[in-house]
């Protein structure tokens, strides 16, 4: 049977590919809708690597990334390109995930053409427009435009309701990133027992550029001295603000491995094998608890409070002393480590978010 409805899925960056993948695959396997994947390629290399790994072939590649692009210039190139595609494809719905310039561009395009927009991972809030910038502003703007708000948690749903979004438009689905994570884990070989203490580090957020990043790295150097049996593995983001400082401060240290961004399957495998995770990433805050790994969050605030409330993540800021003491407490104190790992709760999803999202769209009057 040939599908009569078209749904456009817009993807811009690596985490968007990870979180849209289960929706794209489920739509492509269905007979009721035709799925058209548009990539803006707001980040080129890491997106391409991920699309290939997750077996997503885009129908349209806008190839918008420029060196030193500003969000304004990116959005200005994105809007006419997305509009042309929507005019030609006539979708009944446009879907995008998260809080990047791409999701704002997709939501605005759909709004201008009166196409229903579905926001995947809706309702995350820090209520501080500077942290993260520009993402917090984008999330709030997109929430004004969406027809369906797919909230990953009840907390996100509560935030949306408090902003006046009609409850019938909000659906608590879990996070689709956990769908992709659990599907990936099911394809990996079981973890072999390993006595090595591995600290997995990722740090790349804009609000940590400069002094906070320097102080995180100072904390890492102190940990290396206090825990000579620990190995720190850091897949370094290619952004020059991160790359140059990481190599200047940490490069060549015998306990610290600075590596290229890892293939997703390798990264998931490393998350499973490591002792603990230090990160300023959003997605990794969600993934670590689902794998039973303690996650220390290198930020001042987080829009993912559920992990902290459940005791499986801790917000430790970026000061060298707090990074050092939070890590050393987990390494030296088995009871503290057990506090974070004993419960095995996954606050952000159970692996079925995409199915729920698609059911909601399929049964809507579109």
Catalytic positions are 99, 121, 135, 204, 206, 237
- Residues in the interface with ligand UDP (CB under 6 A) total 15
Q: Is 281 in the site for ligand UDP (CB under 6 A)?
A: yes
d(CA 168, CA 148): 9
Sign, CA torsion 253/297/307/206: negative
d(CA 232, CA 223): 9
Q: Is 105 in the site for ligand UDP (CB under 6 A)?
A: no
Stretch that binds ligand UDP, among 11-19, 81-89, 102-110, 116-124 (CB under 6 A): 11-19
User: Residue 231 forms beta bridges with which residues?
Assistant: 198
Stretch that binds ligand UDP, among 12-20, 136-144, 206-214, 331-339 (CB under 6 A): 12-20
Contact 141, 120 (CB under 8 A): no
Q: How far is the CB of 206 from ligand UDP (least distance, A)?
A: 10
List the structure tokens of 192: 């072999």
Q: How far is the CB of 281 from ligand UDP (least distance, A)?
A: 3
Q: Is 282 in the site for ligand UDP (CB under 6 A)?
A: yes
Q: Which of 40, 97, 126, 202 binds ligand UDP (CB under 6 A)?
A: 202
Stretch that binds ligand UDP, among 103-111, 117-125, 239-247, 283-291 (CB under 6 A): 283-291
Q: Which of the residues 227 through 256 are near ligand UDP (CB under 6 A)?
A: 235
Q: Based on CB atoms, which residue is closest to ligand UDP, 100 or 322?
A: 100
Q: Based on CB atoms, which residue is closest to ligand UDP, 267 or 337?
A: 267
Q: Based on CB atoms, which residue is closest to ligand UDP, 7 or 64?
A: 64
Q: Is 361 in the site for ligand UDP (CB under 6 A)?
A: no
Burial of 140 (0-12, 13-18, 19+ CB in 10 A): middle
List the structure tokens of 285: 């805050």
- The binding track of 287-316 with respect to ligand UDP, each residue x by CB under 6 A or -, is x-----------------------------
Contact 323, 234 (CB under 8 A): no
Q: Which of 284, 291, 295, 315 binds ligand UDP (CB under 6 A)?
A: 284
SS3 track for 310-347: CCCEEECCCCHHHHHHHHHHHHHCHHHHHHHHCCCCCC
Q: Is 22 in the site for ligand UDP (CB under 6 A)?
A: no
Contacts of residue 219, Cβ cutoff 8 Å, sequence gap at least 6: 319, 320, 321, 322, 323, 324, 327
> Residue 308 — φ and ψ, nearest 5°?
-70, -45
Task: Enumerate binding residues for ligand UDP (CB under 6 A).
Answer: 14-15, 18, 177, 202, 235, 261-262, 264, 267, 281-284, 287
């Amino acid at each position: 049977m040939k599908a009569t409805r078209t749904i456009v899925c817009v993807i811009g960056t690596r985490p968007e590919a990870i979180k849209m993948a289960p929706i794209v695959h489920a739509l492509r396997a269905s007979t009721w809708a035709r799925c058209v994947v548009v990539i803006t390629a707001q980040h080129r290399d890491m997106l391409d690597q991920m699309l290939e790994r997750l077996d997503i072939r885009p129908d349209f590649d806008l190839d918008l990334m420029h060196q030193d692009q500003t969000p304004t210039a990116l959005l200005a190139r994105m809007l006419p390109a997305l509009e042309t595609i929507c005019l030609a494809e006539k979708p009944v719905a446009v879907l995008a995930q998260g809080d990047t310039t791409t999701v704002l561009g997709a939501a605005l395009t759909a709004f201008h053409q009166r196409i229903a927009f579905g926001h995947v991972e809706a309702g995350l809030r820090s209520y501080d427009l500077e942290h993260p910038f520009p993402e917090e502003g984008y999330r709030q703007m997109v929430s004004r435009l969406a027809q369906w708000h797919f909230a990953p948690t009840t907390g996100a749903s509560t935030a949306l309701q408090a902003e006046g979004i009609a409850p019938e438009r909000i659906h608590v689905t879990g996070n689709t990133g956990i769908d992709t994570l659990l599907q990936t884990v099911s394809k990996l070989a079981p973890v072999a027992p390993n006595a090595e203490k591995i600290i997995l580090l990722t740090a790349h957020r804009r609000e940590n550029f400069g002094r906070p990043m320097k102080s995180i790295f100072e904390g890492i150097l102190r940990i290396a001295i206090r825990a000579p049996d620990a190995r720190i593995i850091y897949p370094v983001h290619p952004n020059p603000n991160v790359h140059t400082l990481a190599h200047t401060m940490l490069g060549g240290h015998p306990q610290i491995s600075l590596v290229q961004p890892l293939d997703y399957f390798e990264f998931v495998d490393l998350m499973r094998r490591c002792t603990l995770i230090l990160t300023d990433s959003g997605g990794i805050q969600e993934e670590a608890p689902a794998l039973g790994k303690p996650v220390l969050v290198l930020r001042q605030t987080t829009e993912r409070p559920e992990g902290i409330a459940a005791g499986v993540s801790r917000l430790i800021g970026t000061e060298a002393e707090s990074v050092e003491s939070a890590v050393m407490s987990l390494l030296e104190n088995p009871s503290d480590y057990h506090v974070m790992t004993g419960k095995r709760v996954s606050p952000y999803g159970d692996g079925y978010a995409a199915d729920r999202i698609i059911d909601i769209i399929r049964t809507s009057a579109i």
